[in-house]
Structure 1
Amino acid sequence: MSQAAFDVSRETQTRLDRFLALFAQWSARMNLVSASTRNDVVERHVADSLQLYRLVGTRQWLDLGSGAGFPGLIVAIALAERNEGWVDLVESNRKKAAFLRVAVLETGARASVHDVRAEAMIDRVPDCDAVSSRALAPLDQLLGLAEPWLCKGTRTKGWFHKGRDHRSEVSKARGSWQFDLVEHPSRIDRDSVILQIANLKRL
C-alpha cells in the first residue's frame, strides 16, 4: 500500500498492510465483500474508509453493519496511532465478526466487536459521537437503526457512505424523518458522497 497515496504514517501503513494480508487470507475462504470489488480493495474500500476518518477524526464511534471492516475497522486502525478514540463494530454475521476480531487483535485497532444486530446495541453503547455505516441499508431504514443515538441532540452525528442514488434515498427518507444534512463529495468516487446527518427527528 502506498504511504504517499493515502497520506498515512509508516506505523498506520504497517497496520493497514497487515489488515490487507488478513483480508486476502480470509477472502479465499468466505465472501467478505462482493466479488466485483475484491480486486480493488485498497481504493474501493480502504481509501474510501480513510476519507471518513479524515472528516470526523478522533471520536467515540459506533459502526453499524461493519462487514469486512469498512469503514469502522479502518477508522479504528487509524485511531491506534493516536491512542485515542474507540470504535464499536457491530456485525451480526458470526463469520464476519470472527474475521473482525482477528483483525482487531493483529492490527492493534482501537475497537470492540459485537456480533449482534444493531437494535441490541443501545444497552451496550448508550452514547457515542459518530454513527457510521457503509452499504448496510437504504437511508430511511438506516436512520431507523441509528435513531436511538441520533435523536439525543446535536452531539451525535451520522456519517453514511452513499452512491449515485443518494438523492433519491434522501428524498424518500425526508418523507419519514426530519434532519440536518451536509453532503461531502467523495474523494474516491465522483458519483458517491458521505452524508452527514444531525438533529434527527421522526415525523
Structure 2
Amino acid sequence: MTEEEAQAWLRAEFDVSRETWQRLELFISLLREEMQHQNLISKASADNLWARHIVDSAQLLRLAPTTKNNGIWLDLGTGAGFPGMVIAILSRYQVHMVESRKRRCIFLNHVIDQTGIGDHAFVIADRLENIESFSADVISARAFAPLDRLIALSHRFSTENTVWLLPKGKNAVRELKGLSPKRQKMFHVEHSLTDPDAGILVGKG
C-alpha cells in the first residue's frame, strides 16, 4: 500500500471530516518533530507513516464494535501512539493508552493537548501490572508482549463481551498455536490491509 493509497482508503472508509484530517496531519507533524529527540518508530517506516502506522492502526476500527461515545478502548504499550492515538482521533471511543516510558507519555499527552481530544483520550503513565482493573470493550496491543504473556497480564480488564484486537505481524498463527486449546478458540486471524503476510488476532471473551 502506497502513501497515496493509504490516504485514499482512510477518506473512503471513514468519511473523514476536514477537522479530523487536520488532527491526523498534526499528529504526524508532531511525531516527526519528536523523532528528532527520541526513537519513536523505526527510521525504515518513517517515509511510509500513513500506510505503516496510520492505516495499520485505523483498520482495527473495522473489527471493533460500533459505538457512539461511551465504549472503553484499552490500548497496551501505546508507544508513539499506535494504535491508540489513531483510534482516538478517528472515533469517539474513550481510549485509555497504557505507556510506562516517561518521555513517551509526555509526547502522547502533548499530542492529546494539541489535537484537542482530551475529552476521550487518556494516557495511563504506569506499568500495566500497577493499574487498577476496569472493564474494557476493546483491548488492543500492537507491540506489547508475546501473546501468552499479554493475555496473562491483561485478562482482568476483559469481560465475556470484550473484543481483543492484536496485530501480530507474520507471527500471528504461530503465537496463536502457543496458547492453550481453550484460549485458541477465543481467536481467529484476520489479514492485515497493509501487509498481506501479516495477521491480526481477533478474539472475544
TM-score, scaled to structure 2: 0.86
Judge conservation of contact 1:140–1:176 (CA < 8 Å) in 2.
Answer: no
Matched, 1:61 2:65: no
Computed over aligned residues only, the root mean square deviation of the Cα atoms, in angstroms, reads: 1.8
Question: Are the structure 2 counterparts of residues 96 and 176 from structure 1 closer, same or farther at C-alpha, using a change threshold of 3 Å?
Answer: farther
How far, CA to CA, are the matches of 1:145 and 1:72 in structure 2? 18
How far, CA to CA, are the matches of 2:72 and 2:55 in structure 1? 21
Question: What does residue 25 of structure 1 align with?
Answer: 33
What's the secondary structure of 2:139's corresponding residue?
A: strand
Deviations 1:57-80 (A, max 9, x none): 43310100000000011000112x
Q: Structure 2, unaligned stretches of length 5 or more?
A: none
How far, CA to CA, are the matches of 1:4 and 1:43 in structure 2? 11
Deviations 1:83-139 (A, max 9, x none): x32100100000001100000111123311111011122x2x511101111011111
Question: What does residue 77 of structure 1 align with?
Answer: 89
What's the secondary structure of 2:126's corresponding residue?
A: coil
Matched, 1:116 2:126: yes
How far, CA to CA, are the matches of 2:135 and 2:154 in structure 1? 11
What's the secondary structure of 1:155's corresponding residue?
A: coil
Amino acid paired to 1:171: K
What's the secondary structure of 1:173's corresponding residue?
A: coil
TM-score, scaled to structure 1: 0.87
2, 5, 8: which is aligned to 2:9?
Answer: 5
Give the number of equivalent residue pairs: 191
What's the secondary structure of 1:102's corresponding residue?
A: helix
Question: Are the structure 2 counterparts of residues 186 and 128 from structure 1 closer, same or farther at C-alpha, using a change threshold of 3 Å?
Answer: same
Matched, 1:126 2:134: yes
How far, CA to CA, are the matches of 1:189 and 1:16 in structure 2? 21
How far, CA to CA, are the matches of 1:47 and 1:38 in structure 2? 14
101, 105, 110: which is aligned to 1:97?
Answer: 105
Moved beyond 6 Å, runs of 4+: none
Which structure shows the bigger proportion of residues in strand conformation?
1
